[in-house]
């Protein structure tokens, strides 16, 4: 059986920690390096319920996308959820490894998995990372094209169908009848990259956690640019504001990574270590919203 340290080395070859943003701290969060690993569970969030399910399934290692300790933490006692999670994991000999922004940027990582499942072709990273050792382009987000143009509404419905169900649903901003072909995707909170999306020439931007003011400002900027184009080119065809916006549930779009990660990690362990591990996907909905009311 491989040890936890050996499996972590494989994970960090697939999803290098050097790809992580400066503010991020992915990697091994809980675990004893010499302990054996036979079963790896995958889940979007290391909630108490997810950890209990991983233990119930006999996992020796839980791989999550979201960090357990996202901000400074001064205690992990049984009086707070972080302490409960850490205690449960150690008590049941289950480690926790987090692939966050490093997995976002990696080949066959979070961004590429979402873009592939949405049907994008001719893809490139939205924010490239220069890595001479990488065999494939890497970086945050993806930009690509649909094989055939769709209306914004039709594409948004396709995105919603690909995502696991949540009560939050999918929100769309823009002309729902406009045709879209070039698509930018950034799983997770994406309103800090509007400039990069505009520069990419995308017709629509698929991301999460769009707040009122940044989203409104981005749409108003797009409308302003469309009016200027129409005046310059004397054509109403230029009046469509681009990019339109599709706002998705945060954990739902990021969980698309596991369509790749389960097989990729198991195959890499076998190829690198000559040993096998079982993998299991905890598909539990960890989106916080329990009800969405449309009055």
Binding-site residues from annotation for a divalent metal cation: 65-66, 104
Main-chain dihedrals φ then ψ at residue 250, nearest 5 degrees: -55, -60
- For residue 120 the two structure tokens come to 């994008």
Task: Tell me if 273 sits within 8 A of 152, measured CB to CB.
Answer: no
DSSP alpha helix (H) spans, 74-211: 81-91, 101-105, 110-117, 152-162, 194-200
Which residues contribute to the annotated binding site?
Answer: 65-66, 104
Task: Tell me if 128 sits within 8 A of 137, measured CB to CB.
Answer: yes
Burial of 83 (0-12, 13-18, 19+ CB in 10 A): middle
CA distances (Å), origin 238, targets 22, 87, 234: 39, 58, 9
Task: Tell me if 100 sits within 8 A of 66, measured CB to CB.
Answer: yes
């Amino acid at each position: 059986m491989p040890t936890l340290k050996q499996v972590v080395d494989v994970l960090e070859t697939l999803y290098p920690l050097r790809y992580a943003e400066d503010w991020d701290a992915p990697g091994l969060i809980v675990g004893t390096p010499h302990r054996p690993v036979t079963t790896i569970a995958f889940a979007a969030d290391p909630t108490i319920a997810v950890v209990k399910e991983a233990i119930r399934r006999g996992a020796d290692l839980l791989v999550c996308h979201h960090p357990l300790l996202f901000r400074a933490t001064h205690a992990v006692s049984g009086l707070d959820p972080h302490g409960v999670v850490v205690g449960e994991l150690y008590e049941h000999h289950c480690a926790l490894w987090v692939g966050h922004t490093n997995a976002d940027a990696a080949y066959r990582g979070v961004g590429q998995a979402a873009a592939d499942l949405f049907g994008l072709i001719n893809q490139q990273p939205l924010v490239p990372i220069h890595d001479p050792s990488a065999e494939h382009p890497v970086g945050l987000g993806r930009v690509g094209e649909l094989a055939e143009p769709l209306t914004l509404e039709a594409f948004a419905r396709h995105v919603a169908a690909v995502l696991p169900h949540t009560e939050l649903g999918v929100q769309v901003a823009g002309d729902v009848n406009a045709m879209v072909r070039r698509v930018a995707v950034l799983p997770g909170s994406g309103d800090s990259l509007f400039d990069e999306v505009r520069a990419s020439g995308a017709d629509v931007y698929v991301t999460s956690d769009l707040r009122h003011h940044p989203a409104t400002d981005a749409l108003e900027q797009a409308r302003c640019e469309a009016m200027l184009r129409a005046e310059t080119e004397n054509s109403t065809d230029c009046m469509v504001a681009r990019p339109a916006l599709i706002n998705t549930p945060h954990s739902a779009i990021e969980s698309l990574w596991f369509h790749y990660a389960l097989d990729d990690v198991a195959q890499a362990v076998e190829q690198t270590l000559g040993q096998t591990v079982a993998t299991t996907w905890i598909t539990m909905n960890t989106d916080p919203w329990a009800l969405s009311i449309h009055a």
